[in-house]
Structure 1
Amino acid sequence: MAQTYENYIDGEWCASETGETFDTHNPADPNEVVATVQDSSAEDAKDAVEAAAAAQEEWAAEPGATYQALLRGTAKRIDERSQELAETLCREEGKTLTEASGEVGRAIDIFYYYASHAVDYGGDRKPTTTDDQNLYTVREPMGVAGLIVPWNYPIAIPAWKMAPALATGNTVVCKLSKDAPTVFLEVTKCLAETAEEIGAPDGVVNVLTGGGEEVGQPIVEHDEVDAVSFTGSREVGDMIYQQATDNRKRIQTEMGSKNPTVVSENADIKKAVEVVGGGICSVTGQACTATERVIVHESIHDEFVEQLIDYVDSIEIGPGLDDPGMGPQVSERELESTLDYIETAQQEGATLAYGGGQPEGEEYENGYFIEPTIVTDAESDMTIMQEEVFGPFAGIASYSDYEEAVEIANDVEFGLTAGIATQDHTEANQFIGDVDFGIVKINEATSGLDLHVPFGGMNASSSETYREQGEEGMDYFTIIKTIYESY
């Protein structure tokens, strides 16, 4: 029987005031109910924000060592349960066991990373213009942080938002996605146990489940929320940005993408195929950093496509717990969206080179499985080269010279991650300056990130306000106060 989870508000586990719940399902076998969770309301969101606001002053007054203790203790508890959490993630979101274990490991590392910085993050001493003065800055918490997170990295993304917020003295209210909330509700248990152990005030951490309109919007609009961090679709992110700025809140959004990889005539083709294939198929293409556009020099186009097809054809598809090469999509909604884009690509004149449908076989009949899909003859103005396809899909275009490749790469509204496969160091350096993307990868898959460096996009991929991860992730949750002290 599936476990029922409650919301965590003001130091207590509690049911939604609606009395309503919903089930989550295994995308490899939708008949399997993974968990039952709360279908929360605006009233629940209000309670969570008020709890966070009530606890904020006391939490902000704690020393960095207390923040460190909360984050370090949480990381230790997650680590002790890492296998169980990885399996939960597989069952609810669909990642392979290897991918899920990696994501759980990333969350552990994030909590440890910000724990280590919690004790030495603060202001700076500055040179003065006189000899009888101290001049320095201090960083103070913003206050209450509202965090709205997606389903595709259901433990890592909440961790990389929540950990820096807590490490800088903020209290948090986190709304989890309805598609895959269970793994972070389990992490919330780790946070709650550690908070009780160290004597943290009730209300420092508040986590609830429910819809965006019912729960997310009331969090964003509440007067007591000082900063909002959102990851999700562009449509919702733009709306949240407007709501937050209208109320003079600090806002950080990370939204859609349409990431290109240029395959130069100077590329090592075998290496380029591995880079591109990994960027397309890892986490079933359900990553904002996934490779969706491949721009290949005309002199190597046919050879590259042939080898890329061999690469994706070798990928085993199956339930995440079996640890294949690629798991299912998270939901029927996402599967149908990908299939619709594949149909649109062919209607607009692209050539289906590989995949394009669901794999055949009894083991695939019930789940949301899809084949990796490659289309060629893709033109830059086609729908599938402009709109994000959240699945293992890529359109391949050819180019004749470097300037054309850059023009195609930049010919989108988004600007998260761009890559180039080349053995020409000069070309690589020029590419870095010529593309309008927040992250540039040289001979690496567009997907995959380090936690200690800034993460974020340009143009329509981001609010272009503050970066996430690294020390910059802490900067977002603090405000600078400058002190002039004469003596």
Structure 2
Amino acid sequence: MTFTSVVNGSATIGSRTVASTNPARLEEVVGEVSYGDRDTFVGAAEAARKAQASWADVPAPVRGRAIAHIGRLVEDNAEALARLVTAEIGKPYAEALGEVREIVDTCDFFLGEGRRLYGQTVPSEMADKQLFTFRKPVGTVAVITAGNFPVAVPSWYIVPALLAGNTIVWKPADYSPVVSNAFFELFVRGGGLPDGVLNLVHCDGPDTFAGLERSLQQGLIDKVGFTGSSAVGREIGALTGRHLQTACLELGGKNPLVVTPSADLDLAVEGALFSGFGTAGQRCTSLGTVIVHESVHDEFLSRFTAAVSAARVGDPTQDVLMGPLLDAKFAERYEEFLGWIQPHHTVVGPRGRIGADNPRDGFVGDAAAGLFYHPVVVDGVRPGDRIFDEETFGPIVGVTTYRTLDEAIELANAPGYGLSSSIYTTDPKDAFTFRDRIGAGMVSINNSTSGAEAHLPFGGNGKSGNGSRQSGIWVLDQFTRWQSVNWDYSGRLQKAQMDTVELTPDTTYRL
């Protein structure tokens, strides 16, 4: 079956067709996708622009009920959608099912926000005058998402944007097109969305950028949401800035996990294992560097490397910690990261692609069939090492030591990312000090660097983003604009700051 872009409710056939394969079984074709081009993107933006006013006229509580219906339909199809996520990107099924649950949670949360798109009634400094504020939709939104979370992350943008009265052009990752079409169908059918309200575009990166640029030039796009690398995020931010827009950017991370002397080491190891190697280390919130106190370094490293060696790796349909890398391009890039390992680093165990000549004990399934790699722990990393300073998208975790908490926080902030962070401690002072001084937008105490809930703000600072937030009520500031209204019923012109009423206190009174 060939999957296509869908613009204004109609399938749009592109100029070329590409097969999407299962990274765990490369010979298995999950589906074929017809790629559009920059004109497809612009056409979708035109359709969204045309549909926006009528969608915004639908009362917000009714839009909220549409979101609720989407949530129920996704819930009814959760297992099938999760299996498709596993087949197309190799995410272990348990994780994929949890990702689908994020859509449901997001829909459940924003159902209520359809009745809470509140403005305010504000007292005026003048008589016979009332002041109000209202939330207005921004208009037409372009959403460009990565494929490591092919259904959860799009829902973080699309659900609140729809609820707020916006229309959408969605361009998913080129390596998860089949699951993207399934997600699209569930949203359109579950929400009963009119044609043009949600449009799906399949095209490559250069055509996406060119189509977005033209759409901005023609005034068709009012807001851009982007999840992906910091490098591409800079380009998106620069492009939107030229049109006096601020994109919602959710970018990469080099997420630290600090282990203090008081930490429960078994719990810290469990958190580091999931943070570093869940989704094969291919999350924006994946663990980058463990920063462990010198007094517990050796014990932690011994337990951590033992846990990594014992972890189940392989077929993502089975009970495994990690499956394959998402796509061949990520495997190629990951091998570059392995080349960053230096002589002063210590690596325990094998590295590289798993196969007959580089086996892994206890591997689940057929390693030769897919893009499977050894999880790697690199001890002795330090500032100035690329493996310490830069995001490594894949199953590789660095380890370094510290003497004081001040030093640990300095190391945690040093790479300049600011997405997620974690500290393992039983000392409340350490926890509060870390929370206060870490530059990350998200902090976990005695939990992993990964994971968020639908009603908390998600996002980062520095190289990880421009301070915008997704999820919870905070994301509504990305997809609405405040409108202020003053209503004067005095029957005469009252000039603010010029005609205000003043009391006349007696400042000379003395007891």
Letter in 2 for 1:247: H
Partner of 2:403: 400
Partner of 2:352: 357
Contact 1:284–1:392 under 8 Å retained in 2: yes
- Of the three residues 283, 305, 308, the one matched with 2:279 is 283
Q: Look up the SS of the partner of 1:178 in the other structure.
A: coil
In the aligned structure 2, how far is the partner of 1:15 from the partner of 1:73? 29
Letter in 1 for 2:477: D
Q: Aligned ranges for residues 35-434 of structure 1 at < 5 Å?
A: 35-196=31-192, 200-222=193-215, 223-347=219-343, 349-361=344-356, 363-434=366-437
Tell me the TM-score normalised to structure 1 length: 0.95
What's the CA shift for 1:82?
1.0
- Of the three residues 436, 439, 461, the one matched with 2:439 is 436
Partner of 1:474: 476
Letter in 1 for 2:262: N
Change in 2 beyond 3 A, CA 1:456/1:309: same
CA RMSD between the two structures? 1.5
Q: Look up the SS of the partner of 1:191 in the other structure.
A: helix
Q: Which of 124-133 and 34-43 deviates more?
A: 124-133
Contact 1:355–1:374 under 8 Å retained in 2: no
In the aligned structure 1, how far is the partner of 2:224 from the partner of 2:457? 18
**Which structure has the larger Rg over C-alpha atoms?**
2
Contact 1:175–1:216 under 8 Å retained in 2: no
What's the CA shift for 1:55?
0.5
Gaps of 5+ in 2: 357-364, 490-511
What's the CA shift for 1:191?
2.1
Q: Look up the SS of the partner of 1:202 in the other structure.
A: coil
Q: Look up the SS of the partner of 2:348 in the other structure.
A: strand
What's the CA shift for 1:322?
2.1
Letter in 1 for 2:426: Q
In the aligned structure 1, how far is the partner of 2:350 from the partner of 2:102? 31
Q: Which of 396-405 and 330-339 deviates more?
A: 330-339
In the aligned structure 2, how far is the partner of 1:92 from the partner of 1:174? 19
Partner of 1:454: 457
Contact 2:4–2:35 under 8 Å retained in 1: no
Contact 1:21–1:38 under 8 Å retained in 2: yes
Letter in 2 for 1:470: G
Contact 1:136–1:484 under 8 Å retained in 2: yes
In the TM superposition, what whole-angstrom CA distance separates every residue of 1:50-100 from its partner, at most 9, and x where no partner exists? 000000111111101231232112112111111111110001011101000
Q: Look up the SS of the partner of 1:292 in the other structure.
A: strand
Letter in 2 for 1:468: Q
What's the CA shift for 1:221?
4.2
Letter in 2 for 1:73: H
In the TM superposition, what whole-angstrom CA distance separates every residue of 1:414-435 from its partner, at most 9, and x where no partner exists? 1111111111100110111111
Gaps of 5+ in 1: none
What's the CA shift for 1:475?
1.5
Contact 2:274–2:321 under 8 Å retained in 1: no
Q: Which of 265-274 and 90-99 deviates more?
A: 265-274
Identity %: 31
Letter in 2 for 1:202: D
What's the CA shift for 1:112?
2.4
Contact 1:339–1:356 under 8 Å retained in 2: no
> Post-superposition, which runs of at least 4 consecutive aligned residues in structure 1 deviate over 4 A?
none
Contact 2:37–2:203 under 8 Å retained in 1: yes
Letter in 2 for 1:352: V
- Of the three residues 10, 13, 19, the one matched with 1:12 is 10
Contact 2:141–2:221 under 8 Å retained in 1: yes
In the TM superposition, what whole-angstrom CA distance separates every residue of 1:178-218 from its partner, at most 9, and x where no partner exists? 0112222112112222354xxx4320010111112112441
Letter in 2 for 1:244: T
Q: Which of 25-34 and 404-413 deviates more?
A: 404-413
Q: Which of 273-282 and 96-105 deviates more?
A: 273-282
Letter in 2 for 1:400: R
What's the CA shift for 1:131?
4.8
Letter in 2 for 1:353: V
Change in 2 beyond 3 A, CA 1:57/1:269: same
What's the CA shift for 1:220?
4.7
Contact 1:40–1:215 under 8 Å retained in 2: no
Q: Which of 233-242 and 106-115 deviates more?
A: 106-115
Tell me the TM-score normalised to structure 2 length: 0.91
